[in-house]
């Protein structure tokens, strides 16, 4: 059976899943989204993802037309109808169709979309040997212009930085904030280990507070690893003992080189390996 896409309570074959070209989600990036993972048919941190989705919508005055409980049920229904167990799930809520022009009051009928598909991970050798990344010249959007806590459909800032990484032969790129501090990568949060302490940029660095990021911080505390959410610079990354990224799709993936500088001797560190194993146990347990 063709992949089934959920739109506003109905399922459509992938080829027939359509919304209006007048939808402000398409015209202006006016909407919000979440990316989730399921393991053995169970969605990881579904409640936390839905909380963030609804908070993002509230922040842009977008009324999601169904309850969290109903949306959670619909996510599981979408997995089931597509017979998916280990999958990537994309939740999208658009402002809805309307006339041309920025005025959201001219729109109606927000579109709630659920796409569940097979997961495409980084190659296994990246988890074994680590990633090489670069620092993008594209600066993370100023938090006073658009809060990074809103996971909006307009991802052009991240896409421009991603292009820089790809052009340099890297699958990820680091983004700095407007003060030149480390923020996050284009699709992942970043961590370093220095003298046994796990560190990651604080929320006020202009980051999206990742669901996997928070899970890894909690796992570290459970394993007796000291954690700090602090201001980091590129210098801190260059002199770190270890570095890794976290994200719903990436999970926990090591970084061994930043801007052609080897991190921790250019090999995957012991703390990273421990947290990778702990996360795998968490999601498959």
pLDDT in tens, 217-260: 999 999 999 999 999 999 999 999 999 999 999 999 999 999 99
Percent of the chain's residues with pLDDT above 70: 100
Task: State pTM to two decimals.
Answer: 0.96
Alpha helices in the chain (DSSP H): 24-28, 46-59, 68-81, 124-129, 156-167, 211-222, 234-238, 270-284
**Residue 285 — pLDDT band, cuts 50, 70, 90?**
confident
Is pLDDT at 74 greater than 80 in this prediction? yes
Residue 253 · residue 131 · CB < 8 Å: yes
14 is catalytic: no
**Residue 119 — pLDDT band, cuts 50, 70, 90?**
confident
Query: Which residue segments constitute the domains of the chain, with CATH numbers given?
Result: 4-118 (3.30.470.10), 124-284 (3.20.10.10)
With residue 198 as reference, give the H or E element that holds it.
strand 197-201
CA atoms within 13 A on the CB side of 205: 22
**Residue 1 — pLDDT band, cuts 50, 70, 90?**
confident
Q: What pLDDT is recorded for position 109?
A: 94
CA distances from residue 111 to 7, 166, 171, 275 in whole angstroms, order as listed: 7, 32, 31, 38
Percent of the chain's residues with pLDDT above 90: 98
Is pLDDT at 121 greater than 80 in this prediction? no
Taking residues 189-214, what's their average pLDDT?
A: 97
CA distances from residue 126 to 23, 35, 262, 267, 276 in whole angstroms, order as listed: 38, 21, 15, 11, 13
pLDDT in tens, 262-272: 999 999 999 99
Average pLDDT value over all residues in the chain: 97
Q: What pLDDT is recorded for position 120?
A: 76
Q: What pLDDT is recorded for position 240?
A: 98
Q: What pLDDT is recorded for position 27?
A: 97
Q: What pLDDT is recorded for position 11?
A: 98
Q: What pLDDT is recorded for position 223?
A: 98
**Residue 39 — pLDDT band, cuts 50, 70, 90?**
very high
Query: Any idea of the CA torsion for 207, 271, 217, 166, to the nearest 10 degrees?
Result: 20
pLDDT in tens, 197-207: 999 999 999 99
**Residue 4 — pLDDT band, cuts 50, 70, 90?**
very high
C-alpha span between 170 and 206 (Å, rounded): 23
Two structure tokens written together for 175: 């983004």
pLDDT in tens, 123-172: 999 999 999 999 999 999 999 999 999 999 999 999 999 999 999 999 99
Active-site choice (14, 18, 77, 151): 151
Phi, psi torsion values for 60, nearest 5 degrees: -110, 15
C-alpha span between 45 and 88 (Å, rounded): 13
């Amino acid at each position: 059976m063709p992949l089934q896409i959920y739109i506003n309570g109905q399922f459509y074959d992938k080829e027939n899943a359509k919304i209006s070209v007048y939808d402000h989600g398409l015209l202006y990036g006016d909407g919000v989204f979440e990316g989730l993972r399921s393991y053995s048919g169970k969605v990881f941190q579904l409640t936390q993802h839905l909380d963030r989705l609804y908070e993002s919508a509230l922040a842009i005055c977008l009324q999601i037309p169904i309850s969290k409980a109903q949306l959670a049920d619909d996510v599981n229904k979408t997995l089931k109808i597509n017979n998916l167990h280990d999958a990537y799930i994309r939740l999208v809520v658009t402002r809805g169709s309307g006339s041309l022009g920025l005025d959201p009051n001219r729109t109606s009928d927000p579109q709630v979309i659920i796409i569940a598909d097979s997961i495409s991970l980084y190659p296994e050798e990246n988890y074994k040997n680590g990633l090489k990344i670069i620092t993008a010249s594209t600066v993370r959007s100023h938090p006073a212009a658009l809060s990074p806590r809103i996971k909006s459909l307009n991802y052009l800032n991240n896409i421009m930085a991603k292009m820089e990484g790809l052009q340099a032969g890297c699958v990820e790129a680091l983004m700095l904030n407007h003060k030149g501090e480390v923020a996050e990568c284009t699709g992942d949060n970043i961590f370093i280990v220095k003298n046994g302490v796990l560190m990651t940029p604080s929320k006020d660095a202009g980051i999206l507070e990742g669901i996997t990021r928070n899970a890894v911080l909690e796992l570290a505390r459970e394993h007796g690893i000291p954690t700090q959410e602090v201001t980091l610079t590129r210098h801190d990354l260059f002199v770190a003992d270890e570095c890794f990224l976290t994200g719903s799709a990436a999970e926990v993936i090591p970084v061994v080189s930043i801007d052609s500088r080897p991190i921790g001797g250019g090999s995957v560190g012991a703390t990273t390996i421990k947290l990778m194993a702990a996360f795998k146990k968490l999601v498959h347990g």
